[in-house]
Amino acid sequence: DVKVTQSSRYLVKRTGEKVFLECVQDMDHENMFWYRQDPGLGLRLIYFSYDVKMKEKGDIPEGYSVSREKKERFSLILESASTNQTSMYLCASSQRKGPTGGYTFGSGTRLTVV
Amino acid sequence: KQEVTQIPAALSVPEGENLVLNCSFTDSAIYNLQWFRQDPGKGLTSLLLIQSSQREQTSGRLNASLDKSSGRSTLYIAASQPGDSATYLCAVIDNTDKLIFGTGTRLQVFP
């Protein structure tokens, strides 16, 4: 069964810590995405990548960075965690445009910053 | 700018009813449309993907239709069950491969 795997389901970090959220996909997808989901605000795109070493800013990139050193792995980095980054973080992957194109999501990481 | 709206925002029905969830989008230049289900505190599970050249897709009790020219998609759930209770999200995929999500429909099916 094809999968997008996020390394942690729940994470509690302190304000000011550097936080790494890891995402791995086994579908050989070119595209990978990071979203955050908050009540009343829906899903918002943080960063995305169309290929290894590539990254593009989404709608809310401030306070975040990403790394994609290998095709299957896309990491989201909170440089200095703040309480307003407490949220559910969702990783997704997809093929480039094609007949079977569609998104596959991971199970999410619930991050609490205290 | 593409906007995706889902109606109704919430729905509560008895078990066994046939349901229709609606999704509308403002820009018909979409690549694909995908329906997802999300259980509380969990990730998104893909239900159906409709490519722009298709008009509908079916999986079990689910059927989704797409009318690009009118900017609408409908998810039909037959013979609803309590296990169908979840939030249903519609999302369009634009020509940059990005997803634009709808506002969601929260469904509760009671026994």
In tens, the pLDDT along B13-29 reads 999 999 999 999 999 88
- Which single residue is written with the structure tokens 């490519």? B51
Q: According to the model, what pLDDT value does residue A24 have?
A: 97
- pLDDT below 50 — which residues of chain B? none
Q: Which two tokens stand for residue B67?
A: 């009318």
Closest partner residue to A103 among B42, B99, B103, by Cβ? B99
Say if the Cβ atoms of A94 and B43 lie within 8 Å.
Answer: no
CA-to-CA separations, B62 to A106, B80, B106, in angstroms, rounded: 22, 10, 16
Q: Which two tokens stand for residue A103?
A: 């998104």
Would you give per-residue pLDDT tens digits along chain A (114 residues)?
A: 669 999 899 999 999 999 999 999 998 999 999 999 998 888 999 999 999 989 999 999 999 999 999 999 999 999 999 999 999 999 999 987 655 668 999 999 999 999
Q: According to the model, what pLDDT value does residue B95 have?
A: 81
Q: Please return the burial class of B32, using the count of CB atoms within 10 Å of its CB with bins 0-12, 13-18 and 19+.
A: buried
Could you tell me which chain A residue has the CA closest to the CA of B31? Answer: A97
Q: Which residues of A touch B86 (CB under 8 A)?
A: none
Candidates B96, B102, B74, B71; CA nearest to B5 is B102
Closest partner residue to A90 among B44, B51, B95, by Cβ? B44
- Maximum distance among all Cα pairs of chain B, rounded to whole angstroms: 43
